[in-house]
A and B are shown apart, each in its own frame.
Chain A
Amino acid sequence: MKKLISILLAAVMLLSVALTVASCSGKEIYLGVQSGTTGQYYVDGDEDWGFDGIKGYASKGYSNGGLAVADMKNGAVKYVVIDEQPAKQLAQKVAGIKVIDVALTEEEYAFGVDKNQPELLASINAILAEMKTSGALDAIVAAYATGDGIKPFTSGVKDPAKADKQLVVATNAAFAPFEYKDGDKFAGIDMEIAAYIAEKLGMELVIEDMEFDSVVSSVGKNNVDVAMAGLTVNETRKEFVNFTSSYYNAAQMLVVPADNTDFNACKTAEDVLAVLAEQAK
């Protein structure tokens, strides 16, 4: 009996070693992404999103784009796939990288509202519509494009006793320029829209800063009313939240080392994918 068990154990160990070796020698190339974001589904492929995935590549998830880019410079991932605005912000602040200015996807950002609060959804939609016509939305986006006139603010403190007087917003403040921490204050396009909405609703704004993976699933629990985290509208997320009308058209883009010239001739997403496919051979 003991002999049998030891032989079994040895077999399992050998098998796991063999599997590890096999998975390392596979020809898969890694693309850095922010965990749980559209970029990850775009690289790996996902039915709900309608993405086929990029053949020969697999994603490596980081808790934010900055770390993904840092690891690209270390050589652990070949390129980074991330949303357009964060990509451009990264290229501005981090030396030695650049953005390939080709939209790989077309997507829309919206806020995810608690399914049990249809009135809140309606009022946020009304405020968003007003912001679009009055130009308040454009002003916020423009402020973050130039860096002039941004208004960081301090979050309120969550108090379950005042649940109906507080607008609790779930976000992942690691996604500049949509949401980030500016010193001890919150800043970003989503954050300022949140502040605008809270003011119109006459509620106190509370920001709950958490991992991006938790943002959507947190809505409707523990008094969280809305998710505002550069969320792309998609079917899976619709199971958890009701989306507002969209407020921003976004796209995924490729971030590459500054000295890379492989994508210079690329005009469309197909061109970029063709170059990637060529390199995966």
Chain B
Amino acid sequence: MGSLSSAWNVFYEQMITKGGYKTALQGLFTTIEIAVLGLVIGIILGTLIALVKVMPKNNPAVKIGSVICDVYVGFFRGTPMVVQLLLGYFVLLPMLGVSSDAVVVAIIIFGLNSGAYVSEIMRAGIQSVDPGQLEAGRAVGLPFWPAMLKIVIPQSIKNILPTLGNEFIVLIKETSVVSFIAVVDLTKAFKSIGDATYEYILPYVMLALVYLILVLFVTYLIKLMERRLRRNERTV
């Protein structure tokens, strides 16, 4: 295993002695930043879209809104994330004549993409709540929106939390493509170590480990949250 120990020496030199860990830490931060902010935008957008989709369709404005949402969800679910990033950064931004930080573009595209998926998760969640709940709220005199926001949505969030956690994990892992628009994320940071040394085993194994630890940690947090939300339930 002489080659492995020399691979370790090369890796150690790039990572520790020459300060590669700074890039890796920055990359880790960028990865988390894009995934977290992307999810926040996604949840806000997704909830709005889901609400439009479940609203009673007796108003022409709602019908038009629903069609727009369908087109949006169709586009963002029907094209790969990389293509959306490239379109956004290299086509749309120059066309609009604005320049922006690539990380900001990545966050927006991830938010839009995640919004499309979260909208479907949310819709399923809202529809999983017994319609009687909304009717009861309306019966005691609550208008549609307060009844929705105070009675239906809180219950649906509890139902969709595992799926939402899943979406977050997917987002974390999908950030590995942002180097296409010159963002240095976790993957890019470890890749450049391999590219500088031509030793790929250690950088890639370490990279996988970092993602794994990150996702396991997130899974643990979601579990804690679920437990907290189940406190009011009857134990069987």
Task: From B19, B90, B193, give the contact of A221 (CB < 8 A).
Answer: B90
Q: A218 an interface residue at 8 Å Cβ cutoff?
A: yes
Q: A211 an interface residue at 8 Å Cβ cutoff?
A: yes
Task: Give CA–CA (A183, B24) in the complex, Å.
Answer: 10
Q: Chain A residues near B154 (CB, 8 Å)?
A: none
Q: A173 an interface residue at 8 Å Cβ cutoff?
A: yes
B99 touches A222 (CB 8 A): yes
Question: Which A residues are closer than 8 A to B by beta carbons?
Answer: 63-64, 66-67, 69-70, 90, 93-95, 152, 158, 160, 163, 170, 173-174, 176, 180-185, 208-211, 214, 217-218, 220-223
From DSSP, what is the main secondary structure of chain A's interface residues?
Answer: mixed
- Residues of B within 8 A of A (CB-CB), count: 34
Task: Give CA–CA (A142, B43) in the complex, Å.
Answer: 55
CB distance from A26 to the nearest CB of B (A): 28
B195 touches A214 (CB 8 A): no
- Given contacts A185-B19, A208-B182, whether A180 and B101 have CB atoms under 8 Å apart is no
Task: Give CA–CA (A174, B200) in the complex, Å.
Answer: 13
Task: Give CA–CA (A220, B93) in the complex, Å.
Answer: 12
B192 touches A181 (CB 8 A): yes
Q: Chain A residues near B102 (CB, 8 Å)?
A: 208, 222
A211 touches B18 (CB 8 A): no
Closest chain A residue, CB of each to CB of B105: A222
**B179, B181, B191, B195 interface centre (most CB from chain A within 10 Å):** B195
Q: Chain A residues near B22 (CB, 8 Å)?
A: 183-184
Closest chain A residue, CB of each to CB of B196: A180
Task: Give CA–CA (A226, B150) in the complex, Å.
Answer: 54
Q: Chain B residues near A90 (CB, 8 Å)?
A: 198
Q: Chain B residues near A93 (CB, 8 Å)?
A: 197-198
Q: B235 an interface residue at 8 Å Cβ cutoff?
A: no
B192 touches A176 (CB 8 A): no
B19 touches A181 (CB 8 A): no
A160 touches B101 (CB 8 A): yes
A210 touches B99 (CB 8 A): no
Write the B196-225 contact mask toward A (1 if CB under 8 angstroms, else 0).
111010000000000000000000000000
Q: Chain A residues near B143 (CB, 8 Å)?
A: none
Question: Which B residues are closer than 8 A to A by beta carbons?
Answer: 3, 14-15, 17-23, 86, 89-90, 93-94, 99-102, 179-182, 184, 188, 191-198, 200
A174 touches B93 (CB 8 A): no
Task: Give CA–CA (A228, B182) in the complex, Å.
Answer: 14
Task: From A63, A67, A181, A221, give the contact of B196 (CB < 8 A).
Answer: A181
Q: Chain A residues near B180 (CB, 8 Å)?
A: 210-211, 214
A209 touches B182 (CB 8 A): yes
Q: A182-B14, A184-B19, A210-B179 are in contact. List 10 more A-B contacts (CB 8 A).
A: A66-B198, A66-B200, A69-B198, A160-B100, A176-B196, A181-B20, A181-B193, A183-B19, A185-B19, A210-B180
Q: Chain A residues near B101 (CB, 8 Å)?
A: 158, 160
Task: Give CA–CA (A183, B89) in the complex, Å.
Answer: 28
Q: Chain B residues near A221 (CB, 8 Å)?
A: 89-90, 93-94, 99
CB distance from A87 to the nearest CB of B (A): 12
CB distance from A187 to the nearest CB of B (A): 8
Q: Chain A residues near B99 (CB, 8 Å)?
A: 160, 163, 221-223
CB distance from B197 to the nearest CB of A (A): 7
Q: Chain B residues near A210 (CB, 8 Å)?
A: 179-182
Task: From B14, B182, B195, give the contact of A183 (CB < 8 A).
Answer: B14
Task: From B18, B100, B182, give the contact of A182 (CB < 8 A).
Answer: B18
B20 touches A183 (CB 8 A): yes
